[in-house]
Amino acid sequence: MVVNPREAATLEPQTSAPPLLETAGAPIRQTSLWRDAYRRYLRNKGAVAAAVLFGIIVLYCFLIPGFWFIPGIWTTLFDIDPNQVNFLETYLPPSLEHPFGTDQFGRDLFTRVAKGGQVSIGIGFAATIAILVIGVTYGSISGFIGGKLDNAMMRFLDALYGLPYLPFAILALAVIGTVSFWTMVVALTIASWFTAARIVRGQVITLKENDYVRAAHAVGARWHRVLTRHILPNTLGVLVIAVFLELPAVVLGEAFLSFIGLGINPPDASWGSLASEGRQSYQTHPLELWIPCIFIATLVLCANFIADGLRDALDPRTRET
């Protein structure tokens, strides 16, 4: 019902904020989506612990042996080359200089595991980012255009889904031929971009029906503008979660390929290839197998916990009760 315009007029001044209120206490702290999410994330103890542990592992991997131009702490302190073979020091037990001992060729495992971690984590993130780029492109085109094209693109995806993940990655590696860091990234990306594409498509379809998308159309925004400015930024929360859901899968995939000898080859190390080497002397020196395995397991577990925490923080409605 409509109120008498005169009454409305008397109400008007109330909407222009009275100056009294501004001085009546501390100004309200502005809050944003990200600050809110940060606060909610901090409340989740498991996720915080996982993030800290994740950070420690990453720091260990990159600082101990050094990478690119940054000198490593351990390598300069004890003058160790992680790939240096020394047959006088094979299978040393843990000591201060070699906290994880040495392997069958006398290489220091502390720096070697860290070096392998660089490769594993590096492949993990690189492949995850590649997966997201492809997934976002494919998914947003499919979801945004919709109709017959959407149908065709999704059926193609269904067909790819039918192929088992690791054999598909092995096949991709075989087709590429040589094995290096980047070929591993490509193989793992090819084998696992489908889920990301699906997630993005679902999001885009939901967001497409939103009022503000209609409103954007109503002020004459062109389709690419609607997609890049109004739809994709709103999928960001889901994408951040997807990174930490995709990461453990990729790290595991890389470890598996390296373990069965299709991935990173010695003398270069990755956690998978280290575990593979450790397996050979498992009976006598179990530590060499256990250490990379524990690192893989911890990293995967941490990533899952982080993903969980992020989901609760960024999308509180989906939290399980």
Question: Quick check: 72 and 66 in contact, CB under 8 A?
Answer: yes
Q: Are 268 and 117 in contact, with CB atoms under 8 Å apart? A: no
Of 180 and 228, the one with the shorter C-beta distance to another protein is: 228
Please report, as residue ranges, which positions from 88 to 147 form the binding site for another protein (by CB under 8 A): 147
Site string for another protein, 244-283 (x = CB under 8 A): ----------------------------------------
Minimum gap (Å) between residue 228 Cβ and another protein: 12
- Per CB under 8 A, the segment of 72-80, 82-90, 170-178, 233-241 that binds another protein is 233-241
Q: Of 308, 321, 192, 177, which Cα lies nearest the Cα of 256? A: 192
Q: Interface with another protein includes 206 (CB under 8 A)?
A: no
Binding status of residue 229 toward another protein by CB under 8 A: yes
Among 58, 217, 281, 298, binds another protein (CB under 8 A): 217
Closest CB to another protein among residues 21, 96:
21
Using DSSP, state whether 102 is helix, strand or coil.
strand
Q: Which stretch binds another protein (CB under 8 A): 11-19, 102-110, 268-276, 296-304?
A: 11-19
Tell me: does residue 233 bind another protein (CB under 8 A): yes
Residue 232, both tokens: 């994709």
Identify the DSSP state of 68. T
**Contact status: 21 vs another protein (CB under 8 A):** no
Q: How far is the CB of 145 from another protein (least distance, A)?
A: 12
- Provide φ and ψ at 66, rounded to 5°: 75, 160
149 contacts another protein (rule: CB under 8 A): no
Contacts of 176-185 with C-beta under 8 Å, sequence gap 24+, read: 179/262, 179/263, 179/264, 179/265, 181/119, 181/122, 181/123, 181/126, 181/264, 182/126, 184/123, 184/127, 184/254, 184/257, 184/263, 184/264, 185/123, 185/126, 185/127, 185/130
User: Closest distance between another protein and the C-beta of residue 156, in Å?
Assistant: 22
Q: How far is the CB of 4 from another protein (least distance, A)?
A: 8
Is 27 an interacting residue with respect to another protein (CB under 8 A)? no
Contacts 24+ apart (CB under 8 A), 106-112: 107/82, 107/83, 108/74, 108/78, 108/80, 108/82, 109/274, 109/287, 109/288, 109/291, 110/64, 110/74, 111/64, 111/65, 111/72, 111/74, 111/75, 111/80, 111/82, 112/65, 112/82, 112/83, 112/269, 112/274
Interface stretch with another protein, choices 94-102, 121-129, 223-231, 313-321 (CB under 8 A)? 223-231
Burial class of residue 73, CB neighbours in 10 A (0-12, 13-18, 19+): middle
Give the shortest CB-317-to-another protein separation in angstroms: 14
- Supply the minimum distance, in Å, between the C-beta of residue 222 and another protein: 6
CB of residue 5 to another protein, shortest distance in Å: 6
Report the residue from 8, 77, 133, 149 that binds another protein according to the rule CB under 8 A: 8
Q: Does 222 bind another protein (CB under 8 A)?
A: yes
Footprint of another protein on this chain (CB under 8 A)? 1-5, 7-9, 11-12, 15-17, 30, 32-33, 147, 210-212, 214-222, 225, 229-230, 233-234, 236
